[in-house]
Amino acid sequence: MSVIVRFAPSPTGYIHIGNLRPALFNWLFAKERPAAAPGRFVLRFDDTDTARSRREYADAIFDDLAWIGIHPDEVVRQSDRLALYDAAAEKLRGKGLLYPCYETADELERRRKRLMARGLPPVYGREALALTAEERAAFEARGIRPHWRFLLPNFASSPFETQRTEVHWDDLVRGPQTVDLASLSDPVLVREDGSYLYTLPSVVDDGAMGITHVIRGDDHVTNSGVQIAIFEALDYAVPTLGHHNLLTTVDGEGLSKRSGALSIRTLRDEGYEPMAIASLAVLVGASGSIEPMQSLGALGARVDLSQVSSSNAKFDPAELGRLNAELTHELSAEAVAARLAEFDVPPQDAEAFWMAVRGNCSKVADAAEWARIVYRGPSQIVFSGEDLEFLRTAFTLLPAEPWDGDTWRVWTNAVKAATGRKGRGLFMPLRLALTGVDHGPELAALLPVIGHARTVQRIP
């Protein structure tokens, strides 16, 4: 069977690392499965919420996924598929499984409170099913438009006498799962204004598009019991389901697109590498250590959905910093050449410069400061006394060109012999004169990049 998965974000904001988690699980499951033919990945925008959905967010989601390395095989928008949902709703009405309800939100809330006060579960009692045609007509005459609920198959003969009705599935992540439909209220599928809530369009699209596997957050486990009933009512094949744990902040708070916290766009602008973000988004909350993966293929080889924890996974920014630094230290000059050019590193120097400084960069953007130091000179430091005299002597001993990786050793040996200095007393003044800071890359690698001409300009 060919695998077809989907990632279905609502374009109501920029996606964050928590949204990226299911996108990656689906992508890796379809595209990076060992010993299996690549499947298909569908990007489906759940944009039926016309008040909040914006095309600019959809475009941003597409771009952010591409930056990570996710390239959909197909892109669809629910706003283009309303006729399918209309037909499905009519099919359910024809089967007597979608019925009109006229209660207001306040009325429903009062009922829930009364049930809870009596120690009963706050499940909708299907009062609307008892309305006569005349009563429904009276509501309509008063301008009260109905919302529409799906009649769950949790009864034998009378819908007012529910009985335990178990829905089972073998979850890719959580193993065997059971939801009792008698414990749930009939879900609202259509609002008073005729617009659709998430549930019906999701089921219709999954069924009509032949989605074989649905991998999503475990906040949808209960929804899955309801959706399986709707799949069957619409005569669709039920996909294989998998529900992974959610990503939260270190404090256990949920992530939100509205706040912009940890959005992929923000992390990208802050200079994090895509594979650092992808590695943490997938590996946190799973078995094994969290390590930076060099590619999505390598990340896919690590993923075993059955080993994902059932507890929430906590996102720690410090972990992202660690992963990013480790990845940065392994990046080739070719991989960062375009970014080095933005820092005015000459193309002929790119490899030597990057190999000299990358070990001191947590992000590639950190190389910009080293480019300034190398090519425009360090911040001026005032030397005096013995250090000034030492440096002026040292600079008279600079080796002749050409310079290479051995030049620093040759120079410092000559300076040591001439001045008697050694250790920190020898190396620190030279580092400060050359770079303006008391730490940084190995000068054996950096000095040839600075070059003789720029070095001479740094004589105190």
Element (H, E) at 450: helix 443-456
Helix (H, G, I), strand (E, B) or coil at 99: strand
Distance of alpha carbon 112 from alpha carbon 121, whole angstroms: 8
Please state the three-class secondary structure of 296-313 as a single string: HHHHHHHCCHHHECCCCE
Where does 16-110 show beta strands of DSSP type E?
Answer: 40-45, 74-77, 98-101
Of 389, 366, 390, the residue nearest 439 (C-alpha): 366
User: Is 95 one of the annotated binding-site residues?
Assistant: no
Of 69, 29, 11, the residue nearest 244 (C-alpha): 29
Rg (CA), the chain: 32
CB atoms near residue 252 (< 10 Å): 8
Residue 163: burial class (beta carbons within 10 Å; 0-12, 13-18, 19+): exposed
DSSP per-residue codes, 169-209 = EEETTTEEEEEEGGGSPPPEEE-TTS-B-SHHHHHHHHHHT
Token couple for 244 = 């992974």
Residue with tokens 């309801």: 226
For residue 423, list its beta bridge partners: none
Asked if 317 contacts 57 with a C-beta cutoff of 8 angstroms, the reply is: no
DSSP per-residue codes, 325-351 = HHHHHH--HHHHHHHHHHTT--GGGHH
Of 370, 364, 371, 336, the residue nearest 272 (C-alpha): 364
For residue 147, list its beta bridge partners: 101
Asked if 320 contacts 277 with a C-beta cutoff of 8 angstroms, the reply is: yes
Distance of alpha carbon 133 from alpha carbon 333, whole angstroms: 75
Taking CA atoms, 331 is separated from 238, 282, 301, 306, 354, in Å, by: 44, 21, 21, 32, 9
Of 10, 8, 14, 11, the residue nearest 259 (C-alpha): 14
Distance of alpha carbon 295 from alpha carbon 309, whole angstroms: 23
State the sign of the Cα–Cα–Cα–Cα dihedral 445, 448, 454, 458: positive
Binding site: what residues are annotated? 257
As annotated, the binding site for ATP includes 257
